[in-house]
Structure 1
């Protein structure tokens, strides 16, 4: 419950019943949880926020994290074998948009977040030179694209939001990282996060949790009433992916 006498509110108060669909909780297959014990710690911490449903999204990134549906589902099975009975989870992936992904399209079926929604990302250094072609190809294969953490791509930062608008016009949905509401990634990224929210360009939100420290920081994020009001429909739309 929110107090009318409080000037700021805890963001996690919005998360009861939320399904976290961008996280790196699965054990030992990317830069997230290194083992099952850590996975369980993360799940337990999420439970303090009322979050017990997960779609796990480990990186699929060429030579760094060459995950496949087989490796991802194996890690999911390992976790499900020991997790509490009330936890509900499934597996998807966070796909790097590069030539390696294009090559996969003819070899394997990509793991989706929900329905036809697929979670994609790009390098933080620069966008792929054939970004438009990748988007077009994925969409022609039936994928509805959710771009992970658009606020973190510094090469898109400009006052007009022109580059973001172009991606939206191409049919991409935007998923904000919860920690971008704080200075965790830097003030510039926090500023862009709120600018995208203010311009109603953010469609979904998720945690992108890699380690316990992230959830501890998330627990302490306080926002103004106006900021919470901007976020409520985004949180509800995110819940709606799994209704």
Structure 2
């Protein structure tokens, strides 16, 4: 399996703090069946800044360490960037790092409780400039939970979204699990990843998430999601079914 979102780089954000913790995370990832993992440290979120070239250097160092330890896990460069109005300029000056460096996919994180009004125009401008925004963990965003049409409007215009495996498995609570299911049913998410930060409270459950999705929605969707992860790191176009609106009445009954 390919995990496209993780905080496995040591000492750069709220993920692994030491190389020993990175090694523990790598061993847990391999045990879960993961062969490739994208390191996506936080950037520009008010607490952490991790720039493109630094990430690439640290990823190369981590790959060397894993190789020396005989850990069969390949780390790829990425970045989880908090949305900001000058993202295109950030890409131009090598501040912002697309997934796997040479693709056009860019992970975008919203503040936990809001979606900036300028996001729609920013995403349009990014697409015109040749980049493809991917919204990470929308199921945990308060504004999107309260108004799923925010996400629908982005997806309808060609933006992709990534669901957290732990949300599917219920590790963020019943409400987030239920909303995750509604997003899946409405074709509003296209990728699943762990967003792992450690091996305890925020660990790896990608195989469990895929099993849950297979049980509820069938093997075809598991194939689509896992193939999208492969296509993402290769820079290929992702598969996406036409999105639907989430029924407001169903949302209220299911969540609140």
Which runs of 5 or more residues in structure 1 are unaligned? 1-17
Match of 1:57 in 2: 40
Relative to 1, partners in 2 of residues 1:96 and 1:42: Cα closer, same or farther, differing over 3 Å? same
Task: Give me the TM-score of the superposition, normalised by structure 2.
Answer: 0.78
Corresponding residue for 2:180?
Answer: 193
1:177 aligns with 164
Alpha-carbon distance in 2 for matches of 1:219, 1:162: 29
- 2:216 is matched with which residue: 219, 226, 230? 226
Deviation sequence 1:94-117 (CA, Å, 0-9, x none): 111123635524532632215211
1:239 paired with 2:230, answer yes
Q: Kindly tell me: are residues 139 and 109 of structure 1, through their superposed partners in 2, closer, same or farther at Cα, counting changes over 3 Å?
A: farther
Structure number with the bigger relative contact order (C-alpha 8 A, sep ≥ 6) is 1
Q: CA RMSD in A?
A: 2.4
How many residues in Structure 1 have an aligned counterpart in Structure 2? 225
What is the deviation of 1:177? 0.6
Instruction: Name the CA distance, whole Å, in 2 between partners of 1:216 and 1:109.
Output: 28
Corresponding residue of 2:155 = 168
Q: Indicate the larger mover: 135-144 or 18-27.
A: 135-144
> Residue 242 of structure 1: CA displacement?
4.1
- Change over 3 Å in CA distance of 1:35–1:198 after alignment to 2: same
2:135 paired with 1:144: no
2:110 aligned partner? 122
Per the normalisation by structure 1, the TM-score is 0.82
Identify which range, 97-106 or 127-136, moves more after superposition: 97-106
Q: Secondary structure at the match of 2:6?
A: coil
The aligned residue for residue 35 of structure 1 is: 18
Structure 2, unmatched stretches of 5+, are 235-256
Q: CA–CA distance in 2 between the matches of 1:178 and 1:130?
A: 28
Residue by residue over 1:200-222, the C-alpha shift from the partner in whole angstroms, topping out at 9 and shown as x without a partner, is 22211111000102336667666
Q: What are the within-5 Å matches in structure 2 for residues 1-80 of structure 1?
A: 18-80=1-63
1:132 maps to what in 2?
Answer: 120
Matches within 5 A, 1:63-102: 63-84=46-67, 85=70, 86-99=72-85, 101=87
For the 8 Å contact 1:43–1:52, the answer to whether it is kept is no
Tell me, in whole angstroms, the C-alpha distance in 2 between the residues paired with 1:228 and 1:148.
Answer: 23
Counterpart Cα distance in 2 of 1:33 and 1:196: 30
Structure with more of its chain in helix, by fraction = 2
Following superposition, the deviation at residue 194 of structure 1 comes to 0.4
